[in-house]
Amino acid sequence: MSVLELAAQALKQAEEMKQAAEQDDWKTVENIKAAHSDTVNSIAIADIPEKDAAQVRQMLIETKRLNQVTEQLAVQHKASLVKDKQTLSKANKMQKALDAFK
């Protein structure tokens, strides 16, 4: 696979991860992330032909931007999970307090 094809694949994977994250499909994000890491590592060790360098660079810039969006969605999701856990913990403590009065 050429470096140009690898860059296109990395971009496609980044788009798929972002879409899955927007739909709260974190299992799909994780599955794609493993392949995406392999693709990016392959690009990192590859020799990029001069004729493809500008196009590969643009695709990698867009890939990085999409990865940052996905990462931000993950941070928001984590914060939401933490908040939900705290709310559940408070509810459990309240229930234990009420049960103590029975």
Q: Where are the alpha helices (DSSP H) in 1-102?
A: 3-22, 26-45, 50-100
Interval 72-83 mean pLDDT:
84
Tell me how far apart the alpha carbons of residues 72 and 8 are, in angstroms, rounded to a whole number.
Answer: 23
* Per-residue pLDDT tens over the stretch 28-76: 999 999 999 999 999 999 999 999 999 999 999 999 999 999 999 999 9
Give the model's pLDDT for residue 94.
Answer: 67
Tell me how far apart the alpha carbons of residues 2 and 49 are, in angstroms, rounded to a whole number.
Answer: 10
Within its chain, how far is the Cα of 88 from the centroid?
Answer: 26
What is the rounded average pLDDT for all residues in the chain?
89
Looking at 1.10.1740, 1.10.287, 1.20.58, 2.60.40, the CATH number of the domain 3-100 comes to 1.20.58
How would residue 78 be classed by pLDDT, with cut points 50, 70 and 90? confident
How would residue 84 be classed by pLDDT, with cut points 50, 70 and 90? low
Give CA angle at 26 (25, 28), nearest 5°: 75
